């Protein structure tokens, strides 16, 4: 298993950057859902991004592309299937070719789970979450906006699939 | 659900399904329906099964019988000074691009 925190500290220190201070919470909330998952509406949250016109390569094999980053929480219907990419994220480009979006956007598996009765219902829209390095922006702006989106969808549980 | 256990547990989340896969594969192996099925279903099971904050479930799946892939990501010992210099320049460009996007709204 990779220890990403020390690995990233060493990686960025070698380039002259100070180590990134990851957010950490002594108190982690825990809420029991209002029933079993088979009776609940579940929202899918993703950090994958819509394709940005004229922003360069964003498909399989694309180098890190900051121009593809987004900074506002968005929602998008599950059908037609959203074309959301991960070129704006520092994933493992050696061992992930980003050719199968199901590895970061598991809509088919979630829909199958709903058909099989494991989920009461999958919310009709997914929620896109920015990958903002500002912890203040994430906590004070993006997280509340994501919560508002969950409530607007009537979601009673949420599954975050970050990349 | 995700692939960076130390980061997620350092932050602290209610429930976490961890797969020891390269970053980019939070929901399973590519073009592997069985892997994705197991990953998603075991992650969903946490909604009902977890009883306390910071509950982590660990996938039994292995990315590969050869664990050497774990040595590759952001491993400074595999990079030359020239490569590091190039990476630094790329990161500075990335920072500027992100700043431009934010300032342009």
Q: Domain ranges in chain B? A: 1-68, 74-105
Cβ pair B28:A159 closer than 8 A: no
Q: How many CB pairs under 8 A join A and B?
A: 162
Range of the domain at A150: 36-161
Query: Do B2 and B56 touch, CB atoms closer than 8 A?
Result: no
Q: Is residue A28 part of a domain?
A: no
Query: For B40, which residue in chain A has the nearest alpha carbon?
Result: A109
Cα–Cα dist A65/A58, whole Å: 7
How many CB atoms lie under 10 A from the CB of residue A65? 21
For residues A132 and A123, the model is more confident at A123
Question: Which sign does the torsion angle of CA A71, A72, A78, A83 carry?
Answer: negative
Q: Is residue A3 part of a domain?
A: no
Q: Is the pLDDT of residue A110 over 70?
A: yes
Output the pLDDT for position A158: 98
Mean of the per-residue pLDDT values of chain B = 94
Q: Out of A91-95, A137-141, B89-93, which region has the weakest mean confidence (pLDDT)?
A: B89-93
Query: For A132, which residue in chain B has the nearest alpha carbon?
Result: B98
Residues of B in contact with A11 (CB under 8 A): 74-76
Q: What is the pTM of this model?
A: 0.94
How many CB atoms lie under 10 A from the CB of residue A82? 18
Query: Do A113 and B44 touch, CB atoms closer than 8 A?
Result: yes
How many CB atoms lie under 10 A from the CB of residue A40? 18
Q: Is residue A107 part of a domain?
A: yes
Output the pLDDT for position B94: 81
Best residue in A7, A15, A36, A111 to probe B by mutation, most B CBs within 10 Å?
Answer: A15
β-bridge pairing A74-77 and B55-58: unpaired
A13 phi, psi to nearest 5 deg: -65, -35
What value does the mean pLDDT take over residues A139-143?
96
The single residue listed with the structure tokens 């199968």 is: A100
Cα–Cα dist A95/B41, whole Å: 24
> Using 50, 70 and 90 to split pLDDT, how confident is the model at B103?
confident
Pseudo-torsion of CA A92, A97, A103, A107, nearest 10°? 130
Q: Is residue A145 part of a domain?
A: yes
Output the pLDDT for position B93: 85
> Using 50, 70 and 90 to split pLDDT, how confident is the model at A42?
very high
The answer for residues whose C-beta is within 8 angstroms of residue A121's C-beta and 6 or more apart is A40, A41, A42, A114
Q: Out of A37-51, A91-105, A126-140, B91-105, which region has the weakest mean confidence (pLDDT)?
A: B91-105
Mean of the per-residue pLDDT values of chain A = 96
For residues B99 and A131, the model is more confident at A131
Residues of A in contact with B27 (CB under 8 A): 102-106, 109, 161
Best residue in B8, B43, B47 to probe A by mutation, most A CBs within 10 Å?
Answer: B47
As for how many domains chain A has, the answer is: 1
Cα–Cα dist A57/A51, whole Å: 9
Q: Does A21 touch chain B (CB under 8 A)?
A: no
What value does the mean pLDDT take over residues A136-160?
97
3-state SS, residue A72: coil
Cα–Cα dist B16/B8, whole Å: 8
The answer for residues whose C-beta is within 8 angstroms of residue A141's C-beta and 6 or more apart is none
Helix orientation angle between B33-49 and A107-115, rounded to the nearest 10 degrees: 60
Q: Is residue A18 part of a domain?
A: no
């Amino acid at each position: 298993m990779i220890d990403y925190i020390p690995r990233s500290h060493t990686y960025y220190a070698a380039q002259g950057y100070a180590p990134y201070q990851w957010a950490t919470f002594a108190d982690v909330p825990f809420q029991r859902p209002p029933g079993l998952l088979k009776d609940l509406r579940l929202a899918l949250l993703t950090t994958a991004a819509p394709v940005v016109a004229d922003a360069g390569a964003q498909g399989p094999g694309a180098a890190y592309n900051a121009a593809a980053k987004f900074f506002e929480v968005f929602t998008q219907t599950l059908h037609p299937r959203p074309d959301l990419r991960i070129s704006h994220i520092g994933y493992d480009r050696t061992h992930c070719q980003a050719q199968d979006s199901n590895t970061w956007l598991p809509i088919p598996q979630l829909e199958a789970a709903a058909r099989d009765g494991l989920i009461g219902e999958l919310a009709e829209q997914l929620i896109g979450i920015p990958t903002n390095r500002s912890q203040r922006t994430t906590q004070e702006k993006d997280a509340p906006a994501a919560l508002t989106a969950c409530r607007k969808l009537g979601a009673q549980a949420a599954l975050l699939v970050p990349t | 659900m995700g692939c960076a256990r130390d980061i997620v547990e350092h932050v602290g989340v209610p429930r976490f399904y961890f797969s020891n896969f390269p970053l980019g594969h939070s929901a399973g192996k590519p073009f592997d329906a069985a892997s994705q099925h197991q990953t998603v279903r075991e992650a969903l099971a946490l909604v009902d099964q977890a009883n306390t904050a910071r509950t982590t479930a660990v996938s039994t799946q292995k990315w590969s019988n050869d664990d050497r892939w774990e040595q590759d990501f952001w491993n400074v010992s595999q990079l030359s000074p020239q490569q590091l210099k190039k990476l630094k320049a790329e990161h500075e460009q990335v920072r500027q691009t992100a700043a431009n996007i934010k300032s342009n709204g």
